[in-house]
Amino acid sequence: MLGLLALTACSASAHTSTPPATASTATSVPSSTTATDRYMALYTNAVAPADTAITTFNAQSKALTNSANVTDLAKIATPLADTLEQVDRTLLGIVWPAPLTKDIRAVVDANAAIIADLLNVSKQTARSISTLKKQFSGDLSKLAVKVSIVVNELAPPQ
């Protein structure tokens, strides 16, 4: 059961060398940057809290013992779900260029499935946890594809 969740970061910093900024700078972007750089910075700053929450979640899930139960896992899954919901609100609050709007929405929609999975951990039984693991793994894969699309639009491979 404890191998249920191994998340990867969803920011551009997970894919590029751009370091995530702090949450307090989420909307401040240097005016000397190109439009693409500005939007990459906005995206990276918006998802930085998710990256931090994922790192925390991964560390906490690895620290769970074999005697841990669904309740123990739910205690660490809920804060991550809350952070992901806030990140989604932040992403949706940014005015993206038309070509990106659809893809950002796809990231948020894919993220909603992850949030639902995390919030449903507490409702699982020992028998249904394997089903949740499969669903979560599939949902993570879908999210990774959507994030990759956005990151590649913001910072195309050179």
The pLDDT value given to residue 102: 94
Alpha helices in 32-128 (DSSP H): 35-63, 70-93, 98-119
Q: How far is CA 2 from CA 6, 53, 57, 73, in A?
A: 10, 18, 12, 8
Residue with tokens 């906005």: 42
Give the count of beta carbons closer than 10 Å to the beta carbon of residue 129: 18
- Reported as a pLDDT band with limits 50, 70 and 90, residue 126 is low
16: three-class secondary structure by DSSP: coil
Position 31 scores a pLDDT of 47
How far does Cα 43 stand from its chain's mean position?
A: 12
Q: Return mean pLDDT, the chain.
A: 78
Q: What is the pTM of this model?
A: 0.75
Q: Which range, of 34-38, 46-50, 64-68, averages the lowest pLDDT?
A: 64-68
Q: Where are the domains of the chain?
A: 30-154
